[in-house]
Amino acid sequence: MQPERTLRLIRQTRRQLHHLLQIEPLTPFQAEIRTLLETLPPPSPREEDWRRIPVWRWLTHLTEQPSSPNGSLLSISPALPLPTIVITPRGAHWQDSPHASTQQALHTPVTLRTLPPDHNTLQNRNALLFPERDWLIALNTLHLEHVIQMEIPDRANVQLALIWHADSPQRAIPLTAYRLQLTVGKNAHVAILEHIVGHHPAHIVIEAHLAKDAHVSWWHLSHTTTPPLLLHHLAVDIREHATWNEYLLNTTGNHVLFRRMLWLSEPNSQSQFTARCLSDRPNAHLALVTHLLHMAPTTTSNQEVRGVVGWHQTGTFQGRIFVHPRAQETSAYQSARWIPLSEHATVHELPQLEILADQVRCTHGAVTGFPTQPFLHYMRTRGIPEAQAYLLLFKGFLMGSFPEEVPKPFTALIDHFQKQALPTLKKLLEASSLYANARITPPNP
Amino acid sequence: MNQKPLLSIRNLHAGTEDHTILKGVNLEIPHGEMHALMGPNGSGKSTLAYVLAGHPEFQVFQGEVHLEEKNLLELSPEERAHLGLFLAFQHPVELPGVSMIEFLRTAVNETRAAQGKEPIPTTELLKQIRTLARELLGSDEYISRNVNEGFSGGERKRNEILQMLLLQPKMIILDETDSGLDIDGLKLIARAVERLRDNQRGFLVITHYYRILEFLKPDRVHLLVDGKIVASGTYELAVEVERRGYEAILQDLHAPTESR
Ligand SMILES: Nc1ncnc2c1ncn2[C@@H]1O[C@H](COP(=O)(O)OP(=O)(O)O)[C@@H](O)[C@H]1O
Ligand SMILES: [Mg+2]
């Protein structure tokens, strides 16, 4: 390929990436609020940290890496008992794992289409019609005007896995971007496990709309096959009595940004966010940026972020809570706890509360570090060596105390996540000067 | 016959960096004996237990502690546990996010590994833990929880006893395991302790109530006041403490004629 052409493409990609950092608001009113929020001064210059992602370096570096379209979530769990939707870039071929045929047939009432309809793009259109097969959609991923729409009808009960394939077969365009519009009907119960596979930088934009009484539990799982540069933007509009529960389990990545904006737009809408973060990359920056907009009375939000950073890693949580004057009797709770394991690791906890109603319960807790001493001694008196004790404690910190029951089909994957996180946690602890005395011994068989 | 006592404490001075709490404690517990340690609040009973268990908050300024021929003071808390020392804490902490099963399995298998034994197969260990949980906590539902998380005070004490029965230690220190328990709980724990009593194990039962001693009938009773053992005797000493209170006994001790 001509160098000029590569450069042009990369420049184009960068422009696009920059453009993508903005999510389209859902309604004009939301747009107004959004503008208001966006024009507020950032809580600290740190906001620039996650905006100044060295895209250029990534793009040039990653073009050299071979693309691997076979990295598969399906290989994680031999029998993933879930209907699975795989979305791949045009031209990429997705290889089913040998076990894919044993998967449960897809009997979900979900409608999936692309906008604008494009028969060239929807290569495997027919696959949609075969209940034995998973959906496979191929999109031209550089044009975000191409939107994937997913509709879940009223009263449906749906559990599925959604896999984004982030390796572009056109290696000169090393960015994969997708945009999903999800509508969940009244009283529908939905559990979605989201996973992104590939080496190329990925940008995912999800706009979700929850009708009255809908209940969504959304699980985002990262794995070693997840792209090292991931921008994940989520905008959710939650209507009356609807609930959005989100779980983020991140174990890898170099630049990971989760940016979420939630509108609790009608009375009694609820949202919960539970995040557990670490990364196996020494210079990782994991950033969670959340905007919660309580627009109606008696709305509830609850966010709990926990992370462990070591080496030269950075962890950021920026939580903005906005409570509209008419959103009385709202309760908003957020807590962030990052544990830095090395003196070169950095954590930023940047709460920003803007509360314009007067009957509001709002708490923000940000804690750095972890008082390990009383716990450690207790464990050691039971014969557990110091290093093992640390590992148990940090494992407990990251993986224990989940607020909600894991949907049955997801348990194998959550287990897998835990197994995946453990060696990383071990390495982080081993590298930590703070715990230099604790020597990790191989665990008992 | 073992010549050395199981536990011997000689002239132990210990405390925090700027505060001496134990001021010359001497105590010997031979194999197979149960000793009780009584004393008013703040006399240093828990401090003694913590020092024996190697709590980093406390420092030893002077003195020696041996478990059989091993110098305990130069060992880490886990090494002491591997030798068979066990402390049932007065205030057991909760371990956030650490599951009972994983905690107990790691404790049992690490201890066994240090003693050169094979790990117990998980299914068998689970069976043991279940049985103990039903017996001591009334339900095996507890083992799917995190360690002490949401446990009441009494449940935490019973959980300490569960761990004692599971680990089968050689030298057992119970720090006020009886306080905060109702009479049924007390009997349950006394029976559990009785079960481990044999001619090899040693016990140090710290309490300031007479109640549990009625069930356990210790071989010796010691009185700790202001960081020193001021009186030692048979079970009768505990009876006297119960009848007359610490104050009266202390006054007798300060009188010139010392009876004990
Ligand atoms: N960590 C500590 N720092 C300072 N003083 C302490 C500490 N722990 C205990 N003490 C003091 O040591 C004394 C003995 O306490 P403790 O051993 O708990 O008594 P007991 O168990 O006999 O009631 C008390 O005066 C107590 O306040
Ligand atoms: Mg005490």
Compute mean pLDDT per 10 residues along chain A, 445 residues long, and list them. Answer: 51 44 44 44 33 36 38 40 67 41 46 58 32 39 59 88 71 65 94 82 85 95 78 89 94 86 93 92 88 93 92 88 91 90 85 85 74 86 92 85 70 72 85 58 38
A to B CB pairs, distance under 8 Å: 95
Pocket test for ligand 1, best of B13, B17, B37, B47 (most atoms within 8 A of CB): B47
Residues of A in contact with B92 (CB under 8 A): 378
Tell me the per-residue pLDDT of B10-23, one tens digit each, with 9 for 90 and over: 999 999 988 999 99
**Residues belonging to chain A with any Cβ–Cβ distance to chain B shorter than 8 Å:** 373-375, 377-386, 388, 392-393, 395-401, 444-445
Residues of A in contact with B106 (CB under 8 A): 384, 388, 392, 444
Closest CA to A49 of A397, A318, A308: A318
Q: Answer whether B77 sits within 8 Å of A380, measured CB to CB.
A: yes
Contacts of residue B156, defined as CB under 8 A and 6 or more positions apart, other chains included, come to B91, B92, B148
Mean pLDDT of all residues in B106-119: 94
- Residue B150 near residue B122 (C-beta atoms within 8 A): no
Lowest mean pLDDT among A195-199, B161-165, B247-251: A195-199
- Domains identified in chain B and CATH numbers: 7-259 (3.40.50.300)
- Residue B194 near residue B125 (C-beta atoms within 8 A): no
Closest chain A residue to the Cα of B81, Cα to Cα:
A383
Tell me the per-residue pLDDT of B172-182, one tens digit each, with 9 for 90 and over: 999 999 988 88
Q: What is the pLDDT of residue A167?
A: 67
Q: Which residue would you say has higher pLDDT here, A47 or B160? A: B160
Q: Answer whether B111 sits within 8 Å of A396, measured CB to CB.
A: no
Q: Answer whether A385 sits within 8 Å of B110, measured CB to CB.
A: yes
| CA-proximal residue: ligand 1, atom 4 (nearest) | B16
Closest CA to B147 of A335, A304, A393: A393
User: Cα-flanking dihedrals φ and ψ of residue B95, to 5°?
Assistant: -105, 100
User: Is B119 in the A-facing interface, judged by CB distances under 8 Å?
Assistant: yes
Closest CA to B226 of B16, B35, B7, B47: B47
Residues of B in contact with A445 (CB under 8 A): 119
Closest CA to A262 of A213, A330, A184, A210: A210
Q: What is the 3-state secondary structure (H, E, C) of chain A?
A: CCHHHHHHHHHHHHHHHHHHCCCCCCCHHHHHHHHHHHHCCCCCCCHHHHHCCCHHHHHHHHCCCCCCCCCCHHHCCCCCCCCEEEEEECCCCCCCCCCHHHCCCCCCCCEEEEECCCCCCCCCHHHHHCCCCCEEEEECCCCCCCEEEEEECCCCEEEEEEEEECCCCCCCCCCEEEEEEEEECCCCEEEEEEEEECCCCEEEEEEEEECCCCEEEEEEECCCCCCCEEEEEEEEEECCCCEEEEEEEECCCCEEEEEEEEEECCCCCEEEEEEEECCCCCCCEEEEEEEEEECCCCCEEEEEEEEEECCCCEEEEEEEEEECCCCCCEEEEEEEEEEECCCCCEEEEEEEEEECCCCEEEEEEEEECCCCHHHHHHHHCCCCCHHHHHHHHHHHHHHCCCCCCCCHHHHHHHHHHHHHHHHHHHHHHHHCHHHCCCCCCCCCC
* Amino acid (one-letter) located at B173: I
Q: Answer whether B146 sits within 8 Å of A399, measured CB to CB.
A: no
Q: Answer whether A380 sits within 8 Å of B93, measured CB to CB.
A: no
Q: What is the pLDDT of residue B211?
A: 84
Q: Which residue would you say has higher pLDDT here, A120 or B69? A: B69
Lowest mean pLDDT among A306-320, B106-120, B121-135: A306-320
**Does B5 have pLDDT greater than 60?**
yes
Mutation target vs B (from A372, A379, A381; most B CBs, 10 A cutoff) = A381
Q: Answer whether B78 sits within 8 Å of A395, measured CB to CB.
A: no
* Boundaries of every domain in chain A: 3-62, 73-369, 374-431
Atom of ligand 1 nearest to the CA of B206: 21
CA A126/CA A138 separation, integer angstroms: 12
- In the reported structure, the alpha carbon of residue B23 is separated from the centroid of ligand 1 by a whole-number distance in angstroms of 13
Tell me the per-residue pLDDT of B212-221, one tens digit each, with 9 for 90 and over: 898 999 999 9
- Residue B146 near residue B94 (C-beta atoms within 8 A): yes
| CA-proximal residue: ligand 1, atom 18 (nearest) | B46
The burial of B227, by beta-carbon neighbours within 10 Å (0-12 exposed, 13-18 middle, 19 or more buried), is given as buried
- In the reported structure, the alpha carbon of residue A409 is separated from the centroid of ligand 2 by a whole-number distance in angstroms of 48
Residues of A in contact with B89 (CB under 8 A): 378, 381
Q: Answer whether B89 sits within 8 Å of A384, measured CB to CB.
A: no
Tell me if B16 CB under 6 Å of ligand 1.
yes
- Residue A317 near residue A286 (C-beta atoms within 8 A): no
Q: What is the pLDDT of residue A37?
A: 39
Mean pLDDT of all residues in B107-134: 94
CA A158/CA A144 separation, integer angstroms: 27
